[in-house]
Structures are given as structure tokens and as C-alpha cells.
Amino acid sequence: MDRAEILRRLARVVREDTLAIVAAELDAPGGLDEPPRWLNALLEAAEYLPLPEVPPVVGQDLRRVFSGPALPERYRAVLVTDSRTDRRLVGVRGDAGTSGWSLSFTSEVADLVVDVWPAADGGYEVEGQVMPHAVKPSAYRVIARGPQTARAEGDRLGRFRLGKLVPGRYDLAAADGRIEISAAFNLDEGGP
């Protein structure tokens, strides 16, 4: 069977773009030396199996099923305030002589507040809240990666608690399926 015969027979059952791919494979070095068995079987079946056009709605449904979930839009939040730099300018909630601090971040779609305080047995306790600008808060999945990794499931108001983390630099990401906000911070008494 020559190139023209293969393409003529395939043209009855495949789209033009698929036909172009097959033609390119046949034109490649060694492409016509020995057509694969599956191609011969397909060509034989195509002669006897009438295939109706697929309705457009079926194609749309299949694309939706096989396209998978959409990835969230990603935003990088920037540090706006760090209460370690000037505690008088930033009101630290519940500051009764403790050495805890608050970090505030903002992005185009949400603000992120992270509260940190020393843990009794070393390290730092970390909790926070994601506050979207235009939509009501939702439950965010939060992950902090650094010297250790911590994960948390936020509540429906965007609040989360990562628990105890060791000192070091962390990248935090909070996602709810629609958006993902990320921010970087340093867990030590020294500052950003």
C-alpha cells in the first residue's frame, strides 16, 4: 500500500488535522517501510464501519470532562505592615507584653494577615486570615514551606491555624480553587 492509498482510506474516518499528522509520519524517513499493524487494522475497519458525525454537544461535553479542573489564578501578595518594625504604628491584637507580631500582605484580589507569637516550648505559633476584596471569604487550603512544611484547612471566613513552626524563611500559599495568594515571610524576632 502506498502513501496516497493510506491517506485516501484514512480521509474517510479522520479529521484533516489528524490526516496531516499521519501524512507527516509517512513522509518521515522509514515512514512507508512497514506500516504498523494497527494502521492496517484501522484502515480495514474503516472500510466497513460507517461512523456518523459526532453531535457538537457531545464534543463539548467530552472536552469539559477531559479538560480537568481549571487552575486557580495566582497572585503574589506584598508585605504592607510588619509590627516588628514599629509596634507603636501598628496595633498588635492582645499585646500584653508578649513578643508576638502581625504581618499584613495585600494583592490585587485579597489581603492576608498572619499573626505570630513564640510557642512555650520553642518555635512560633502561626495563624492568619485571607480576606478577599470582592467576594465573600471561603475555606482556603493553606501551606507554608520553609525549614518545615505545615498545612491547614481554613474555615469559611478564611481563618487558618498552621500551628507551631521553627524559625526560618517561609513561602505561604492559600488557595480556594478559584484563586491562590502567596506571600513570603521570615519567622524570627529580627524582622522581614
- Where exactly are the structural domains of the chain? 3-67, 73-187
Cα gap 21→132, rounded to integer Å: 47
Sheet strands side by side (includes 159-165): 78-82, 101-106, 110-118, 124-132, 159-165
Q: Which three cell numbers stand for residue 79?
A: 508585605
Provide the CATH topology of domain 73-187: Immunoglobulin-like (2.60.40)
Q: Which three cell numbers stand for residue 186?
A: 521570615
* pTM for the predicted model, two decimal places: 0.59
Buried b (16+ CB within 10 A) or exposed e, 121-131: eebbbbbbbbe
Which residues in the chain come in under a pLDDT of 70?
1, 12-13, 30-38, 40-51, 54, 62-70, 86-98, 189-192
